[in-house]
Chain A
Amino acid sequence: MTRPAVTVRDVHKSFGKTEVLKGIDLAVPSGSTTCILGPSGSGKSTLLRCIAFLEETTSGIIEIHGEPLGFADTGDGGRTRLPSSEIRKVRARIGMVFQQFNLWPHMTALGNVTEALVTVRKMKRKDANEIGEAQLARVGLSDRGHHYPAELSGGQQQRVAIARALALEPDILLFDEPTSSLDPELTGEVLNVMRELAGGGMTMIVVSHEIGFAASVGDKIVFLDEGKLLLDGPPSEIFATPRHPRLQQFMETYLDRGAATLL
């Protein structure tokens, strides 16, 4: 059995006195798409941000392909913080796509995609541009390389953000509500790119409210509620009726906001 791409072991996370994650265990198999669902405040974004090491866990261990990220087990129940060079090395295998895109506004689309290739990977500008253009083509934006983020639609900006993450050839891509700040009409183009990536064997962890995407693309569905992992399994199992009452309630709430009333 191969090692999972991401292993989360008994992870707790508190902000001040509020415990947001209350002991999460999760294994994400390599090459799979895991969709994390859950109501607002359930801790799903926090969990993803802990896996990206944008938030430091309060306790517990996260491993990327078996290598500890941020904190290593000392063997006696404690943990020790790893040096930042070590953290950067492990983290280089992870790419992240944010809800707010977070493109750098003073750089063009191509500039955003190539920036880290030049400043971090020390590539020549010409080689970086070649990769950048190829990645923009991959997300269907080869004609938008010289546009600034402000000149692009939300869907295009998010696709540039995906190209930026892909340019560094990560093993694992994390998506934090990638379509939540998009007009409903623009979510399709982003979900299509994600669908293609999933089909290409990329390991993805997706926090999203797109239940349809989760059901059709996800290999694994994780349902969080109040900081605990309530359900974990393949969509055929998770969405099969009768559903877990909490999931049923969650789905009704979400369907209620949309077209369900028109049906």
Chain B
Amino acid sequence: MSMRLFELMLWAAGKTVLLSAVSIMIGLAIGLMICAAKLSPNKLLSIPATLYVSLFRGVPLLVQLLLIYNLLPVLGIMVPSVVAAVAGLSLCTAAYQAENLRGGFQSVPRGLLEAADMVGMSPWKQLTRIRAPIAFRLTLPALVNEAILILKASSLVSVVGVIELTRMAQNLSASSFRPLLFYSVAGAMYLVICWVVAGGGSLAERMLKTGSRA
């Protein structure tokens, strides 16, 4: 493989990382809101949140991407395909992240909040100082897992015309007639990216010291 082709593959890998990272972050923000809505005693909030989760978890991501890509123009929204791709990935991962976060929030031992209550912390302080930091630590392994899943699932956005790592490998294979080479390189690049994400995750876990009871 020439240097120039390798650079093209690297560029595409960078795009895959960027797409996934942005989607994970947006998904985290939406996921937090859905989690809050789902935990709310208000049914007007919790029922739509539950519906959202079951909808986005129940329909294949590939179908979601194709739906969003084709739906936006019908609604009169003209956006580049990369935006549709990020929207699709974000909305989907948000559903999974909302569930992960809910698990984290519900696993914070009640006694830790009672202790916070007894020292006079307001409900808001209890949330920001005790509940959320502990829930986040509990959720971190699942978040890393989800990030890796999204990284790999981002290969699906090639169907809406976004050129990322998988699509680039496909294109170069077709023009060079050397599919094994390009798909192997693409596979290796995915693997390295996932290693980095997993390694970063365990480093973060170690840095955010948690007690054995958390």
Does B118 sit within 8 A of A, measured CB to CB?
Answer: yes
| Pairwise interchain contact A96-B213, C-beta atoms closer than 8 A | no
Q: Contact check: which of B112, B117, B118 meets A104 at CB < 8 Å?
A: B112
A161 neighbours in B (Cβ, 8 Å): 115
Distance, CA A115 to CA B111, complexed state (A): 16
Q: Which chain A residues border B118 with CB–CB below 8 Å? A: 52, 54, 91, 94-96, 165
Indicate whether B196 reaches chain A with its CB closer than 8 angstroms.
no
Q: A116-B120, A168-B119 are in contact. Are A106 and B209 (CB under 8 A)?
A: yes
Residues of A within 8 A of B120 (CB): 88, 91-92, 116, 120, 168
Interface size on A, residues (CB 8 A): 26
Assess whether A98 is interfacial by the CB under 8 Å rule: yes
Q: A103 to B119: give the CA distance in the assembly, Å.
A: 12
A155 in contact (CB, < 8 A)? no
User: How far is A161 from B213 in the complex, measured between Cα atoms in Å?
Assistant: 15
Q: Would A98 and B114 count as touching, CB distance under 8 A?
A: yes
Q: Please give the distance in Å from B114's CB to the nearest CB on chain A.
A: 5
Q: What residues on A are CB-neighbors of B209 within 8 Å?
A: 106, 148, 150
* A89 vs B2: C-alpha distance when bound (angstroms): 74
In the complex where A54-B114, A98-B115, A115-B129 touch, is A105 in contact with B210 (Cβ < 8 A)?
yes
B211 within 8 A of A: yes
Q: Whose C-beta in chain A lies nearest to the C-beta of B133? A: A106
**Residues of chain A lying within 8 A (CB to CB) of residue B125:** 119-120
Contact B119 A106 (CB under 8 A): no
Please report B residues at the A interface, Cβ cutoff 8 Å: 109, 111-112, 114-122, 125, 129-130, 133-134, 137, 208-214
- Given contact pairs A54-B118, A150-B210, enumerate 6 new A-B contacts (beta carbons under 8 Å): A88-B120, A102-B109, A104-B134, A106-B137, A106-B210, A120-B125
